[in-house]
Amino acid sequence: MSQPKVSILMGSDSDADRLMGCFEQLESLGIPFEARVRSAHRTPEALVVYLAEAEAKGIQVFLCAAGGAAHLAGVVASHTLKPVIGIPMDNPPLGGLDALLATVQMPAGIPVPTVAVGGGGPINAALTAARILALADPQLAEKLVLFRQSMADKVAAKDAKLQARLA
């Protein structure tokens, strides 16, 4: 089995179902990944230990999903120089605005580029990781070209369907 290149960290297993799109997108591009539950607040020491292990085994990009007072991505970014992408989770009662602000509003010096709350956010996190890895991987870059073409084909098919319905 290939060594994982992407690590998806989540603050709780309650986040996992909403990250399926992220897992599936990485799988469809053939990017090896691992997903782990580590919390910035509940397991701060275990998080730091994991990050050292992950870097040692070749993880290139960290995707960090957390809800509520979501410090996970920022804490990870403070311990690594690898790219860290924040995925704010749309938890009740605030619907993810809390996690969005906690993830995206980092002080200068510790960057956490952050994807959308809910919806396509987890998928776009996977695609951003893919673009980063594709800088040094021409085969992956080609897969991204094909992925984009397949999206354009789907839009064209939808337009054709709409035109047929209106005719």
Angle 9-66-91 from CA coordinates, rounded to 5°: 140
Asked if 19 is part of the footprint of ligand RP5 (rule: CB under 6 A), the reply reads no
Q: Which of 6, 119, 114 is nearest to 66 (CA)?
A: 114
- List Cβ<8 Å contacts ≥24 apart for 134-142: 140/29, 140/30, 140/31
Asked if 12 is part of the footprint of ligand RP5 (rule: CB under 6 A), the reply reads yes
Asked if 15 is part of the footprint of ligand RP5 (rule: CB under 6 A), the reply reads yes
Minimum gap (Å) between residue 24 Cβ and ligand RP5 = 20
Binding span for ligand RP5 by CB under 6 A among 9-17, 23-31, 109-117, 119-127: 9-17
- Mask 21-60, x = binds ligand RP5 (CB under 6 A)? ------------------x---------------------
- Mask 111-150, x = binds ligand RP5 (CB under 6 A)? ----------------------------------------
Minimum gap (Å) between residue 15 Cβ and ligand RP5 = 5
C-alpha–C-alpha distance, residues 70 and 68, integer Å: 5
C-alpha–C-alpha distance, residues 60 and 9, integer Å: 13
Q: Which of 29, 47, 51, 66 binds ligand RP5 (CB under 6 A)?
A: 66
Asked if 88 is part of the footprint of ligand RP5 (rule: CB under 6 A), the reply reads no
C-alpha–C-alpha distance, residues 115 and 104, integer Å: 9
* Dihedral sign, Cα of residue 47, residue 49, residue 50, residue 55: positive
Q: Which is nearer to ligand RP5, 67 or 83 (CB)?
A: 67
Residues 6+ apart with CB under 8 A from 27: none
Minimum gap (Å) between residue 13 Cβ and ligand RP5 = 7
